[in-house]
Amino acid sequence: METRKDQAAAKKANGTHNCAQAVLCTYCDFTPLSEDAIKDLGNSFAAGMGNMEGTCGALVGAGMVLGLSTHDRAKAIKGMRQIMQKFEQRNGATQCKLLKGVKTGKVLRECPLCVADASEFLEELL
């Protein structure tokens, strides 16, 4: 049986979704938005928010789902902190440029695996 984290990773791996969109669309049933609307929401969060300098898009997508599903600012912030800490512990970074090894040439984690990790940690909270 394919898990949601596998579904999200496949969306990224097959090129139909950026990292944020892969997480957003996989968990859109936890939000009040349609899959098309939530995919559009994630358009600009590819490659570390459009320039590979920012937070991994998979984490951004997880944060958006968490906020839309909890309807509680404090709970969403606490949950996002937990997701970020687990993600950084597993992967060594939360920034796209570091994960992709932009300056170092050493890739810490491939994008589909980042998507799977963010999805796994999100699902633990949902």
In terms of pLDDT, which residue wins out, 1 or 63? 63
Would the pLDDT of 101 be above 80? yes
- Provide the token pair at 41: 């929401």
Q: State the angle between helix axes of 4-13 and 111-125 in degrees (0 to 180), rounded to the nearest 10.
A: 150
Q: State the angle between helix axes of 73-91 and 57-70 in degrees (0 to 180), rounded to the nearest 10.
A: 150
Amino acid identity, residue 30?
A: F
pTM of the model: 0.93
pLDDT in the model for residue 46: 81
Of the CA atoms within 13 Å of residue 97, those in its CB half-sphere come to: 9
User: Who's near 116: CB < 8 A, 6+ residues apart?
Assistant: 5, 6, 8, 9
85 pLDDT band, cuts 50/70/90, is very high
Average pLDDT, the chain: 94
Average pLDDT for residues 114-123, to the nearest whole number? 98
